[in-house]
Chains A and B, each alone.
Chain A
Amino acid sequence: MSSLEKRLAAEKRFKFYGMFAMTLSLFFVLILMYKIFSTGSGAFVRTTINADVYFDPNFIEVSSNSSKKEIMKASYVNLADQVINQNHPGLDEENFIKVREMYTRKFDYQLRDYIVNNPNVIGKTVNLDISASSDLDQIVKGNYPRNVPEAQRKINDYQLSILDSLDSKGKMSKTFNFWFFTNGDSRDPETAGILGALMGSFYALLICFSFAFPIGLLASVYLEEFVKPGKITDIIEVNINNLAAVPSIVYGLLGLGMLIGVFGMPYQVPLVGGLVLGFMTLPTIIIASRASLRGVPPSIREGALAVGATKMQTVFHHVIPLSLPGTLTGTIIGMAQALGETAPLLLVGMVAFVMEIPGGAFDPATGLPSQIYLWSESAERGFLEKTSAGIMLLLSFLIIMNTVAVLVRRKLEVKW
Chain B
Amino acid sequence: MIGKMAPGTAFVVYTLLLLWTLIVLFPLYWVLITSFKTAQDVNNGPFFIPWVDFAPSLHAWKELFVFDYEDTLRSYTNSIIIALLSTIGCICVGSMAAYALARISYRPKFGNIFLFVLAMIGGCVVVWKFGVDWKISIAVALACWFFLLKSIGRFFTKSVGNGDILFWMISQRILPPIVTVVPIYMMFQNLRLLDTHLALILTYMVVNLPIVIWLMYDFMNSIPIELEESAQLDGASRFRTFWEIVLPLARPGLAATTLLVLILAWNEYILAVFLSTSKAQTIPILVAAMNAGERGILWWSMCVVIIIMIIPVVFMAIFLQRFISKGVLLGAVKG
Do the two chains bind?
A: no
